[in-house]
Structure 1
Amino acid sequence: MRKVFAYCIITCLVVASRAFAGAGEDGLDRYDLLGPEDRLTASFTYLEGKVVLNNGAVLSVPEGYRFLNAVQGRTLVERLWGNPQNPGFLGLLLPKPGSRTANDLFGIEISMDESGYLSQSEARQLNYNILMQKMQQRLAQDNNWRSRRGLNAVTDMHWALPPVYHESDNTLQLARILQLGKNTAVLNYELRMLTRSGALCLTAVAPIGQLEQLQALMPAMGARVHLPIGQRYLDFNPHTDRLAAWTEKMRRMGEILDAHHFFQGLLNTWLFVAVSLLMVLFIYIMQYVHRRREMPKQLFRVDERLN
């Protein structure tokens, strides 16, 4: 569970906070002028067109965007923006300065989550209330990490929209609102494209008012990522591939907390106990009857000496 959603909470939070701070700046100030590190960012090579990610997937960079590969993206996200390491990091999509989306979107992180195969039946039965509770429980630990680095704490987190799973393209959309401090809130919108071994994640950070735009943008972004044969969702091999065990555990936790499933489980437990007692009683009665049948008949003999 930790590997699956830890980075969803923290990833790009610093991007958002710095973007808010520089919302009134023009040109390349949003991404390229980061104080003393501007010489480093000026050395970055941004890619356009079709880009091959480290996992073999092909990304068609949309018009108005530029792409930083995994090495340079890690430098920007982890070293300059202060985010924690993400082992599955594949790159970063940034709007071009002056583009139509430059003021609407801070960035989209692309990463691979190798948490295991998630079946459609499990995806349909995920308990998102339990999922949110798990992420909220991590806030205290994450806030300690942020406070040591002088970053705003996440004081609240909740769903911006009810999570949605689309069976047609095997994607899961998770939209969260993160409250940073008292006066700043950002939208964290994640599109999880289910794969054979987990999910390819596109996580966008944007101002709070861009929810409707991201609802249309993120599926379009996902359509621009093409997984190679062998990594697709339909390539799953049940004999060799690992299942996402955490989802089954989360689903069962949700069922336990659900009143209907609780009483159904309680009823099933009492039925099991009653049937077990009846079986024990039946075995005891059969043994008693069997012993009675095997008892020898008493023969009465007359002692002749008594005559």
Structure 2
Amino acid sequence: MRNILLFFILLCSSLIIHGQEVDSTQATIEEIEKSLQYSTGTIPLERGNGILQVPKGFQFLNREQSNYVLSTLWGNPEDQDIIGMLVPEGKGVLHANSWAFTISYDAMGYVEDKDAQEINYDEMLAETKKDLASENENRKAAGYGSVELIGWASKPYYDDSKKVLHWAKEISFQDDSLNTLNYNLRVLGRRGIYLINAVAAIDQLPEVEKSIDPIIASVNFKEGDRYADYVDGDEVASWTVGSLVAGKILAKAGFFAVLLKFWKVIAVACVGGFSFIWKKITGRSRKEEEELAIEPVAGEDKPLQDLEDSNKNG
């Protein structure tokens, strides 16, 4: 986190010196927003044999554009599992209070839900906090700040009729004044699950919660791949409903939310002047930095594979 903050402080300073870049911030943002091609209506999902009916008040970005937003604009590694994003209308991806739902698919198999009504989520929360406390010792030893699980922002709930699991965690990153919202939805199917994650800050929880029901209703498996279509002999996932909730604490949404705070700086830097500014700050080109194996933004806390696992499991 310290490296990220230092980079953005230096970048801001450079932009102030180069007043032309600062003056054109709004024009840059508008140019980027206009370049995105949002969709509404009924959209076949690329994976999982599902259909998305874009809910009222939202607009959809496809896989390619979603990776552009998550990677180029928000500074995260590309995610090959992403199918798309649902962005609230009237905000866009570079709005001061931007947030979104990401959609991906995991062909993990049929997730058994026999344990769904028997789980003590308070005990699970306590155990997760203990696990995280132990993990923080390793983080400190590696030179990173600690992460604290504050509690359930929304207690886990499994809707047996819809075969949808949802829960939300409130997470605090050391030296970060605004807590992160980690809101997860899992739509269960015959051969896998759709993962829908909110990319938001904790103070946006009320707005996110208002959208949960329409978001859940918007994603459905086609006939033949619905949860009820399971037959003996189908692949059964190693994860149950309970283990999905108990998965790793550091989900990608946490890193996305942190990066959202720097949206203006990223917006200006990502078009045209970025390479020039980067070289001014570091004395090296971006390519030279990459060759020196500078650690990627999200990798400050976890390697990419662990982040992908975290996105799937909690």
Aligned mates of 1:143, 1:111 — CA distance in 2: 28
- Structural mapping, 1:11-90, within 5 Å: 33=29, 42-55=34-47, 56-90=49-83
Deviation at 1:86, TM superposition (A): 3.5
Q: 1:121 to 1:88 in 2, by over 3 A?
A: same
SS in 2 for 1:200: strand
- From 98, 116, 124, the equivalent of 1:123 is 116
Per-residue CA shift, 1:266-303, capped at 9, x if unaligned? xxxxxxxxxxxxxxxxxxxxxxxxxxxxxxxxxxxxxx
Gaps of 5+ in 1: 1-28, 254-307
Q: Which residue of 2 aligns with 1:173?
A: 166
Aligned mates of 1:238, 1:245 — CA distance in 2: 16
SS in 2 for 1:94: strand
Aligned mates of 1:186, 1:96 — CA distance in 2: 22
8 Å Cα contact 1:127-1:250 kept in structure 2: no
Q: Which residue of 2 aligns with 1:208?
A: 202
State the AA in 2 paired with 1:230: G
- Structural mapping, 1:138-157, within 5 Å: 155-157=147-149
Aligned mates of 2:138, 2:33 — CA distance in 1: 27
Per-residue CA shift, 1:138-162, capped at 9, x if unaligned? 9659979xx99xxxx6722232232
8 Å Cα contact 1:112-1:200 kept in structure 2: yes
Q: Which residue of 2 aligns with 1:5?
A: none
Q: Which residue of 2 aligns with 1:229?
A: 223
Deviation at 1:236, TM superposition (A): 1.5
Deviation at 1:197, TM superposition (A): 2.1
State the AA in 1 paired with 2:229: D
Aligned mates of 1:91, 1:120 — CA distance in 2: 27
Aligned mates of 1:142, 1:199 — CA distance in 2: 32
Q: 1:143 to 1:42 in 2, by over 3 A?
A: farther
Aligned mates of 1:205, 1:86 — CA distance in 2: 14
State the AA in 2 paired with 1:44: L
SS in 1 for 2:111: coil
Aligned mates of 2:84, 2:134 — CA distance in 1: 25
Query: Normalization by structure 1: what TM-score?
Result: 0.57
Aligned mates of 1:142, 1:114 — CA distance in 2: 32
Larger radius of gyration: 1
SS in 2 for 1:76: helix
- From 125, 128, 132, the equivalent of 1:133 is 128
Deviation at 1:83, TM superposition (A): 2.6
Query: Normalization by structure 2: what TM-score?
Result: 0.56
8 Å Cα contact 1:88-1:111 kept in structure 2: yes
Q: Which residue of 1 aligns with 2:283?
A: none
SS in 1 for 2:215: helix
Aligned mates of 1:77, 1:138 — CA distance in 2: 30
- Structural mapping, 1:250-265, within 5 Å: 250=243
Deviation at 1:175, TM superposition (A): 0.7
Higher relative CO (Cα under 8 Å, sequence separation at least 6) belongs to 2
Aligned length: 213
The alignment status of 1:195 with 2:189, answered yes or no, reads yes
8 Å Cα contact 1:189-1:203 kept in structure 2: yes
State the AA in 2 paired with 1:122: D
- Structural mapping, 1:237-256, within 5 Å: 237-239=231-233, 241-247=234-240, 250=243
Q: 1:39 to 1:211 in 2, by over 3 A?
A: closer
Over aligned residues, Cα RMSD in angstroms?
A: 3.9
Per-residue CA shift, 1:215-266, capped at 9, x if unaligned? 3421221101221112211111231x22222439959x9xxxxxxxxxxxxx
8 Å Cα contact 1:105-1:207 kept in structure 2: no
Aligned mates of 1:66, 1:141 — CA distance in 2: 42
Deviation at 1:41, TM superposition (A): 5.5
Q: 1:186 to 1:48 in 2, by over 3 A?
A: same
Deviation at 1:74, TM superposition (A): 1.2
Q: 1:250 to 1:69 in 2, by over 3 A?
A: closer
8 Å Cα contact 1:61-1:67 kept in structure 2: yes
Per-residue CA shift, 1:184-221, capped at 9, x if unaligned? 11222111111112321221133424434433421221
